Structure 1
Amino acid sequence: MEPKNSTGIKYFLLLGLSEDPELQPLLFGLFLSMYLITVWGNLLLILAVSSDSHLHTPMYFFLSNLSLVDICLTSTTVPKMLHNIWTQSKAITYAGCISQMYFFVLFTTLDDCLLTVMAYDRYVAICHPLHYTVIMNPQLCGLLVLACWVISVANALLESCMTLSLSFCTHLEIHYFFCELKQVVQLACSDMSLNNVVMTFVAGLLGAGPLVGIIYSYSKIVSSILRLSSAQGKSKAFSTCASHLSVVALFYCLILGAYVDSGLSYSSHSTATAALMYTVVTPMLNPFIYSLRNKDIQGALRRLFRTKLLKGLLFLN
């Protein structure tokens, strides 16, 4: 098969989760509902944090940034999938595929970095409570978020530019519902050895590195909590970390499961389903995980709804 230069490619084919025509209306309704829940859930969390002065703390500042990234991550993949189901088309343009891949890598890396920063915030809050406000000052918080963006943009640019240098064959079917980096690179006809080395190195650096940082932070946190004499103090300290730890476990378990499954399984359906879990399900569950057991968020949401309701009644009168 003769390879074609990437500039001559017009489109890729996204095979999605199922090609059964009878399942398409069900899939469209399901993913539209999940997308709307994700957007509204994370948007409400951002509004609650921004509208309540009691929540203007580093922890909730990072949380609102994580919610914004989750909205962007889901918006990178799901709207195109919904469009393809609605129009009964599997095509995505070459430029659209590379753009989608770029933003997916960007926001996935941002998620990873922000979770690491949030773990550091919890470490300082529990292990150095007397110096917390001094260490986690607004300048440092802003610099940490900026560093997350710089790392994520640089990684996404590196991966995208290296993919742009590849030549692709005529068989351009992607067994996912979006243009995932590894899936796109595997379609290339040119030498992929450098791409594979870079992807492995980056996965180790930006995957294992933050995970090691999170594990180290929580090892110090657990050690500090166990040294507390009061059972009530232990419970309160653990409750401040429970939501973040749940999100970290969900994120890493699903993303590791997806990549392990893609390496061991020959079923394209199972790998696509695994990818669905960390690209759609995790961003949808995050606001619920943070709000269900968090009295501060619940109180802020109640005050937000009461304010909006009161303004609506005054407007009607």
Structure 2
Amino acid sequence: MTVREATREVRKGAPFFLCRWERIEREEEETEVKRERREEVGEVEIDPRTKEGIQERKPPFCKYKKVMASPSLHPAAREILKENKELFPDEIPKLLPGRGDLDFKIELEPGAQPSAKPPYRLSYAELEEMKKQLKDYMDRGFIRPSTSPFGAPAFFVKKKDGTFRMVIDYRPLNKVTVKDTFPLPRAEELMETLFGKRWFTKLDLRQFFHQLRIAMGDSYKTAFVTRWGTFEWLVMPFGVSNAPPASMRLITLTMRPTLGWCIIVFINDILVYSRTLVQHVKDVKWVLDLLRANNLYVKIKKCKFFTNSTHFLGFVIDAKGIIPKRLKLELIRD
């Protein structure tokens, strides 16, 4: 397969998709450079377990890690991280303030009845993890004990980093939930705005679902059962059918001033794009200011700052154009 044939298959009639695939490995090379060498950015929290005797300094509601940056990080990005380190906490703050009409609502179909099931059988390791996560969620104000007639069983899935995510089987609840029709954008349409852009910063919102509160009076519908009793959520949980459109509504309305100007968004993923470095500095600061104003927090480990090529929604993007990531791999193999 030739490059011309491959790129024609990506999207016929769209010249901005034609790119020189030889350059698209650059980001991987840049991000791997001197991975073992790190330096600290700003005056940030130091883990007392690794630096005994150093006094902690952190807000009472939030836990921070060190904000670290690669030596290859652009100086402008380094300065922005120093100025905005509070947006990159180790954990999102305890129960965030309500967002009014944007709080997560669960509307049931007329005549819908509560459903409840016994807890699923879990392994010893999973039970230990359940105890740990229940305590953590309680301490952070994300859940509370419940007497709800609803009761969904919980189980665990293993994440890429080896940790466990608690998942609740909300299928019976989802069957009787009125579906939210807020649209999710098409990845191909989002890509069209990136033609000719040379600077990119990718942001990932930390535990984005948990940054949205349950609307008053709807928490009882999220009840889940465990060996230690029934609990209900005060923040939006994973597994409910309307979580993606509700999240998309929140990020769209929050970032509306920048949409179409310097960012594209898909639920918890934000890509800031600019033609010039000077403009990119302004755009990234603008986006972070909006996140701060709306109490939204970012996961530093999944961010990429001030790069000339990036991956987003399954595409590889640089100044020359856009190509699907899977096609890039096929071209390299051929």
Task: Provide the TM-score with structure 2 as the length reference.
Answer: 0.24
**Which is helix-richer, 1 or 2?**
1
**Which is strand-richer, 1 or 2?**
2
Relative contact order: is structure 1 or structure 2 higher (C-alpha 8 Å, sep ≥ 6)?
A: 1
